[in-house]
Structure 1
Amino acid sequence: MRSLFTLLVILFSANLLLAQREITEDTGWSLKDRLYVGGGLGMNAGRDFNGYRYFYAQVSPILGYMLTPKLSTGVGLNYTYLNYTDFNVSTSQYGGNPFLRYNITNELFAITEYNFISVDPDFLNDNDKRQVFERFLLGAGYTQRIGARGAVNFVALYDLQFTNTGPFASPWVFRVFFSF
């Protein structure tokens, strides 16, 4: 019980150090005052719907700049690694996503982004030809503050250019990421 309490105190203290940048009309134009970073990590292993074993890892950092107290812009990068251990094949997907975010309230925001991703759509057949797929995403999100500057963000986006010919199974994109 004591170790659980110690762990909770450490986690709570660490969360207080994470900070979401807030600016006012009087904030200076220096990067230190207006820059924010964040991102997400993902990992999964198991069996797919056909019963084949796989391993999946993802990293997606973001870098943003607050233009006004309500409007920010930035860029995100994403990298995904997928390995099918039963076949000894793997692939990587990578891309970027410039974004524009408008804070409606302290908790709610609207977001749009242009997302592009380079994939090998036929990697199971050892085909090294990559394709770039694009998405124009529009959506909304909710921010839950953690301490003075940190936040966890929940986002739902819809792909306005969705077709069934790409690697994406749905026009909907859901994300959870941290910023400070």
Structure 2
Amino acid sequence: MKSKILLPVVLLLAVLTGPSLLAQDEYYRPDSLRKEQPERKEVPPVERNPQQKPVLAEKKKLSDFKNKSFIDRLRLGGSFGLSLGTYTNVNLSPMAGYELAENLVAGVGVTGMYFKSNLAGVNSIYYGGRAFLMYAVIPEINIIGEVEALNVEADTYKKYDARKWITSPMLGAAYSQPLGGKFIKAVHLTALYNFNYDNQVDDYGNNISPYGLFWGQPIVIRVTFL
């Protein structure tokens, strides 16, 4: 009877103590018998070139500009002016420009102007055209070079109010304020110097240029949308 009770007790103890013995045996096995673990490899830090990001950004910017369509590079606008009083000056000059590079615009324009001076006895219409280059040093500052040809009135010894063409090579700068339009990208407050101003006279020595910040001065001030 005792042997029948003892046998189940022994089997039960063997079942309960077996897993712990196996775990201890696994713990005390040599390292060569343990399950091999993959070794973690140390990756050396990669040194980054501090100039790498700007170079990539510049390449991306250049690539984006080259992918621009003709319409996206086109600029349309012009300049206008209105002065009433002793001197009446109405000026309308539509212009078109094309972006040759990210910061360089070339363009052409036509000019129509009505000028009247009661003091000088002038009552005339001027017309002509211009070609220009505009280089953006920074988005707010542009360097502008321009050549304009105008047909104006010029008194001669043979004929009063004769007409002649004058050419004005001009150079200056503009303060620009971006507008974000599709064709009119910015408004430009421009000051230009007319290098040929002193030579634009009639036979009596009177200056026949319709421009000038003040009477008899070669500075041209414009507000241009382009």
Query: What TM-score does the superposition give when structure 1 sets the normalisation length?
Result: 0.70
Looking at structure 2, the residues matched to 90 and 157 of structure 1 have their Cα atoms a distance apart, in angstroms, of 25
Corresponding residue for residue 15 of structure 1: none
- Shift in Å at residue 84 of structure 1? 6.4
Corresponding residue for residue 220 of structure 2: 173
Looking at structure 2, the residues matched to 151 and 101 of structure 1 have their Cα atoms a distance apart, in angstroms, of 12
Looking at structure 2, the residues matched to 56 and 109 of structure 1 have their Cα atoms a distance apart, in angstroms, of 26
2:105 matches 1:67 = no
Corresponding residue for residue 37 of structure 1: 76
Looking at structure 1, the residues matched to 225 and 102 of structure 2 have their Cα atoms a distance apart, in angstroms, of 19
What do the CA deviations read for 1:41-60 (whole angstroms, capped 9, x no partner)? 22232235xxxxxx432111
Compare relative contact order (CA 8 Å, sep 6+) and give the higher one, 1 or 2.
Answer: 1
User: Which structure: greater strand fraction?
Assistant: 1
2:163 matches 1:130 = yes
Amino acid at match of 1:119: V
Looking at structure 2, the residues matched to 84 and 143 of structure 1 have their Cα atoms a distance apart, in angstroms, of 32
Q: How does 1:112-127 map to 2 (within 5 A)?
A: 112-122=145-155, 127=160
Percent identity between matched residues is 34
Looking at structure 2, the residues matched to 33 and 147 of structure 1 have their Cα atoms a distance apart, in angstroms, of 12
Corresponding residue for residue 26 of structure 1: 64
- Shift in Å at residue 129 of structure 1? 1.9
2:197 matches 1:162 = yes
- Shift in Å at residue 83 of structure 1? 4.7
Query: What TM-score does the superposition give when structure 2 sets the normalisation length?
Result: 0.57
- Shift in Å at residue 69 of structure 1? 0.4
Unaligned runs of 5+ in 1: 1-22, 49-54
Q: Aligned residues, how many? A: 148
Give the secondary-structure state (helix, strand or coil) at the position aligned to 1:100: strand
Question: Does the 8 A contact of 1:117 with 1:134 survive in 2?
Answer: yes
Corresponding residue for residue 16 of structure 1: none
User: Which structure: greater helix fraction?
Assistant: 2
